[in-house]
Structure 1
Amino acid sequence: MSERVAVYGTGTIGSGQATLSIGNGFETVVLGHSKGGQERCWQTISQNWDDLIAAGLATTHAKGAALNRLTITDDPAALAECTFVFEAVAENPTVKRDVYQTIRRNTAAGTVIASTTSSLEADVLAGLCEDPAHFLVAHPFQPVHLQPLVEVVPCTATADEAMAQAKALLVMLHRQVVILRKSVPGFLVNRFAQALFRESLDLLEKGVATAEDIDRAVKYAMGMRYASIGLLEYFDAVGFDLEKTIAENTYPSLCNTREVQTIVKKGIRSGCTGQKAGKGLYSWDEESLADFHARLLKPFLPSVMEWSARE
């Protein structure tokens, strides 16, 4: 394959991106500064393959072949032959600027840098990067190696050929590509998610429903519905007249706060910040975490059948 892929960053996003690219036959370099991070990255990628094997979607032979395509290093000179670099480091502009400088020093002219940022706008990051014509955002979703969507966002200077190169690579990685015409905070999916989170937390604070019932409503209505049809397709199916009536009845009472809600602030103060803390809106132990992990992967496993068999 003509592309040689690199991933700068050894965290969850970087590990998932590397799992995906080696699974699709690409020689892949992962760059990470700490030995601990490099080791965790290797273990995560290996576990990702073990999950596929357990689901009957890959073989140990395919795993071995994929891992042979992987290089994890702290030496930026390993980027020399890479033509496309996914940046997957902390959401800190200073950190990202240093990474972009390292990439540009160690790659050929025209190498595309694609940030996996979930919140920083493309033009802000492009301002930190030499050669913004070959910079863009390619925002994936966790688990990166399983969930197929990637939001591609150009900066104002991104060249057409860089966009075409990014889309072509992502299609070869069996991704569904959404291209934004302009950058907005949170892009598309995180804007949708924040609207749902805001409303859900407001309903919790008002005592309208429990977390369990809110999640049940999402899983067994919205989640099932929008797994096969689009949100705006459904709007058309309902029709403008009825949707207008529903909007008139609900818009006045929807949450419109512009501040982080009290339930979140209290959780942070008390240390009840979610799964890693063992308690957030739910309580989490080993059994519930394992169940969550299995349910998280299940909908996406069929999407890897084509690439996980590569050897």
Structure 2
Amino acid sequence: MEKVAVFGAGTIGSCQATLLIGHGLPCTVIGHSEQGLARCRGAVEQNWDDLIAQGLASARNKAAAMRLLTITNDAEALSGCTFVFEAVAEDTAVKQQVYRAIEAHAAPEAVIASCTSSIDAGILAGLTARPDRLLIAHPFQPVHMLPLVEVVRHDGTSEQTLARTTALLETLHRQVVVLHRSVPGFLVNRFAQALFRESIYLIEQGVTTAADIDRAIKYAVGMRYTSIGLLEYFDAVGFGLEKAIAENVYPSLCDETAIQQTVLEGLRTGKTGQAAGAGLYDWSQKDEDDFRYRKQCPYFDGVREWTMPE
């Protein structure tokens, strides 16, 4: 079994740690400030409290899991670690420093699995002395709940690195998709950006509202693809009908390649989304505990597969 660490104590790192200790695996989290370590521990505890509130875990599970967690600013705690999830800022200079620390302190055979959502795997490979042991394992928030992980290799990623990564993720009850080369956004973020762009365009054109777009996604698109695949549906509709639909729709789809005015105006006014209290929605009118619950609730059944520590 791999000895696993997480380098990065932010949201992704804390959720990755929750997943690991929730499967009974010891986990060391490396941060860079005392405040960050406290915030990480608090986030992991909140994750467990949410699971307990839904009857998915007990206080005993939480206590046993927390005993498996080490959170520190000392990179020397990576000693003996054979697998490291890198979850630091999307900055190549920062990541290069982290990779040097991993190379200095972790086991010589350690795999580095970057959680990056935007940087090409080949670029990351150029930041490490051991490119054959580096790949991307891009999770989705909430990381401990949503099961998909996009594994992205580069030309130099070894087959052993890919196999070890896949084996660990499957042990953690993750669903793995493999990309044999990087493309910007990988898979899911490419799909999401296409939907975001079209949605903002429709709002700017006065066609509909953010709330009605979300309603359309929740009660048609989202529900449909929980049980069948996107391309299974394409085949079920058939190429003939899809061709006719495409001929009608393609010419009117948004093809903007610049950042849209809604986003630029939000950045100018400080209305940048949930954290700012306003964006496409007025978040003062929303129950944030309810939103956090709704973000997690589709994935509750998956947590029942965990082999939690006692």
Aligned match of 1:269: 268
Residue 57 of structure 1 pairs with residue 56 of structure 2: yes
- 1:252 equivalent to 2:251? Answer yes
Q: Percent identity?
A: 59
Does structure 1 conserve the Cα–Cα contact (< 8 Å) formed by 2:113 and 2:134? Answer: yes
Inter-partner Cα distance in structure 2 for 1:153 and 1:310: 31
Residue 149 of structure 1 is matched in structure 2 by 148
Q: Deviations over 1:69-123 (max 9, x none)?
A: 1000011111011110000000001100100001101012120000000011100
How many residues are matched? 310
SS at match of 2:88: coil
The reply to whether residue 191 of structure 1 matches residue 225 of structure 2 is: no
Cα distance in structure 2, aligned partners of 1:134 and 1:104: 11
Confirm or deny: 8 A CA contact 1:59 1:309 kept in the other structure: no
SS in structure 2 at match of 1:285: helix
CA distances 1:33-73 after superposition (whole Å, capped 9, x unpaired): 10000000000000100000000000000001111110000
Letter in 1 for 2:234: F
Q: Could you tell me whether the CA contact under 8 Å between 2:65 and 2:308 is conserved in 1?
A: no
RMSD: 0.9
Q: Is the 8 A contact 2:15 2:142 kept in 1?
A: yes
The equivalent residue for 2:114 is 115
Deviation at 1:286, TM superposition (A): 7.5
Mapped pair 1:4 → 2:3: yes
Q: Secondary structure at the match of 1:298?
A: helix
Q: State the 1:292 CA deviation.
A: 1.2
CA contact (8 A) 1:62 1:308 kept: no
Partner of 2:212: 213
Bigger CA drift: 290-299 or 44-53? Answer: 290-299
The letter of the residue matching 1:291 is D
TM-score, scaled relative to structure 1: 0.98
What is the deviation of 1:264? Answer: 0.2
Per the alignment, residue 158 of structure 1 pairs with 157
For 1:288 and 1:258, the matched residues in 2 are separated by 34
**Cα shift at 1:207:** 0.4
For residues 284 and 228 of structure 2, the distance between their equivalents in structure 1, rounded to whole angstroms, comes to: 35
Cα distance in 2, alignment partners of residues 310 and 239 from structure 1: 48
TM-score by length of 2: 0.99
Task: Check conservation: 2:24, 2:307, Cα contact below 8 A.
Answer: no
Q: Which runs of 4+ in 1 moved over 4 A?
A: none
In the TM superposition, residue 289 of structure 1 has moved relative to its aligned partner by 1.6
Report the Cα offset of residue 290 of structure 1.
1.9
Distance 2:285 2:60 in 1: 30
